[in-house]
Structure 1
């Protein structure tokens, strides 16, 4: 008697979400869905609408592409609702529609969360999956929370002996109760500075502030996305270089060749348009042209930053190479931009790991890792 054919692992790709990075998450999801091998995995696309509703999304990835700033992709909130239910030994996906009885899709083996920003990349989704006992790609609860909150990230990295840019944090209460003290703290840093949402990404809500007369408007812009604002000294004259971190299946931590972002034209910094929209003024050097010793030091600092926050799976560590040659850690992303044109996949492509192989590596890492304390 022939034994039954083993079931393919079921991978739920979760994307969208309530943050301002909803569209970027959708673009990432389209690329990941296309890259997952249908002969190796059963793939289920799960969208989280802007209002927080979970839906069973379409497998048509064409509608998830980003073509312009005016036509951003989004999750279709009118799709059938989907729930992740914990059963005795596993979690199952259940689809509910008003005109039909609940439909069970089956057990979930691993979740691939490609959510960017709060309510997804910040440990909230990871905590839910831990409670449900579902394996997932990427960093755990604490590393995700620290990686999302740039203010606390600086505290952790600095405590680990890593160099960071000077900065101050302004909460909404501080700004409302004593704005003059906040302005004085920023002025003490010296202009220009960058004003950004403390728990944001994709350069959304970021302003370069050239003098005190621009500060109030920049804080208001950042507070549109996060009531907590981080203001940092501008790394004038610095090169922006990034390095990828990836766990190997044997548990060791690997680093990619660094890559450099060079922004020109009307973009004063690496903003949303420069990152995601096709145009001619952003140039990427993959790999970056750096002295061997600087590359080696950057890769070493990347691993230290990854371990300082308790990273798992993957991360991208962003650096400033200062005019005097010093390296300063700008930030660490536990779920970096992951479209095929994003820096993280391109750095690993330069290391000989193509996009599909990278996606497969991350799923395999998740399948081998248990939930819970580790």
Structure 2
């Protein structure tokens, strides 16, 4: 029986390029484990930081090192993946131009099956402001927040101070300033005073024209993994603890910077509430395949507040998503196998 050819697409044009390579390496290993080795053939396809597609990119996958954009690779290059003969695509791309619905749209136009969320869920899951609106429609509790536009930050000297006044009055300190369309804590800053707020807004505006400012809360940070299509399942709950001001990029992807507790030491009723809200959030954006949903647990009051949903969470050695399913009884090789099956299942629903 011929093996199914899985197009493992990784790299990309976002700031999470290196994380994507690490995630792809882990998934490639998973596809070569146990019975997967007899079922799947990995076809590595790499997107350089300048957007050039590199076919047969095994060297990049093996080394874990990005290709320089000023070098002409010996491998065949293209701008579209039509040259790769695959049965299903496994897009291992984090952040813009990968997790935001754009690559999903390419696969839809090509009428090719792929792993993970579709165009709508990916776009809504990437844009924090659209995500907040979807959560509000689903009656999911959230922290207080404000929408800010780059044009307001880069405005005349009269408008910007008034904007900061409004944020201080509405949200207070500390508050968190985030670009609306970046993942993995890129461009996020914690502001504790006016000077910090102005600097954070200026920084976020350099990344995105839409910005979200959220009120800070004293809470435990917990996460739940989702797996499935029309009948998704929720994993056990994991908890993150760290010494940094917040769960920033360095803390998230540097071994030893954050401690993970899986399963999290939480009351049974809190676990159930988190799982129910995670499934509700997944359905609210019309999720498919996989997502990780992040929450704040306010221990003093017993409240569970949704933070965000990630439609293609990290798959590195220190990533929460595969670890949550491992603790829920689904080993890594089984997880990637199920994700491929879910991608094929979803494609038949629209054929």
Calculate the TM-score normalised by the size of structure 1. 0.86
1:139 maps to 117
Deviations 1:170-191 (A, max 9, x none): 1111222331232123112111
Structural mapping, 1:137-216, within 5 Å = 137-177=115-155, 178-188=159-169, 189-216=171-198
In 1, Cα distance between equivalents of 2:348 and 2:120: 13
1:39 maps to 38
State the superposition RMSD in angstroms. Answer: 1.9
Deviations 1:279-329 (A, max 9, x none): 3x4211000000000001110111100000000001111000013110000
2:241 maps to 262
Highest RCO, 1 vs 2 (Cα 8 Å, sep ≥ 6): 2
Check the 8 A contact 1:47/1:75 in 2, yes or no.
no
Calculate the TM-score normalised by the size of structure 2. 0.91
1:305 maps to 281
Name which of 349, 357, 360 aligns with 2:334: 357
- Provide closer, same or farther for how the CA distance between residues 207 and 57 of structure 1 changes in structure 2, counting only shifts above 3 A: farther
Check the 8 A contact 1:18/1:52 in 2, yes or no.
yes
In 1, Cα distance between equivalents of 2:14 and 2:160: 27
Provide the secondary structure at the position in 2 that maps to 1:275.
helix
2:66 maps to 74
1:14 maps to 9
Deviation at 1:58, TM superposition (A): 3.1
Structural mapping, 1:17-28, within 5 Å = 17-28=12-23
Structural mapping, 1:291-330, within 5 Å = 291-322=267-298, 323-330=300-307
Check the 8 A contact 1:191/1:210 in 2, yes or no.
yes
In 2, Cα distance between equivalents of 1:372 and 1:81: 34
Deviation at 1:373, TM superposition (A): 4.9
Provide the secondary structure at the position in 1 that maps to 2:19.
helix
More helix by share: 2
Deviation at 1:35, TM superposition (A): 1.3
Name which of 252, 259, 272 aligns with 2:231: 252
Deviations 1:206-258 (A, max 9, x none): 111001111121122223322221110111x200000011017xx42111000
- Provide closer, same or farther for how the CA distance between residues 12 and 82 of structure 1 changes in structure 2, counting only shifts above 3 A: farther
2:322 maps to 345
Check the 8 A contact 1:163/1:327 in 2, yes or no.
yes
Check the 8 A contact 1:57/1:75 in 2, yes or no.
no
1:63 maps to 63
Provide the secondary structure at the position in 2 that maps to 1:257.
strand
Structural mapping, 1:205-284, within 5 Å = 205-235=187-217, 237-247=218-228, 251-264=230-243, 267-279=244-256, 281-284=257-260
Provide the secondary structure at the position in 1 that maps to 2:123.
helix
Deviation at 1:116, TM superposition (A): 0.7
Deviation at 1:75, TM superposition (A): 4.1
Q: Which runs of 5+ in 1 are unaligned?
A: 1-5, 65-72, 86-91, 95-104
Check the 8 A contact 2:153/2:205 in 1, yes or no.
no
1:69 maps to none
Provide the secondary structure at the position in 2 that maps to 1:324.
coil
- Provide closer, same or farther for how the CA distance between residues 372 and 175 of structure 1 changes in structure 2, counting only shifts above 3 A: farther
2:104 maps to 126
Deviation at 1:269, TM superposition (A): 1.2
Q: Which runs of 5+ in 2 are unaligned?
A: none
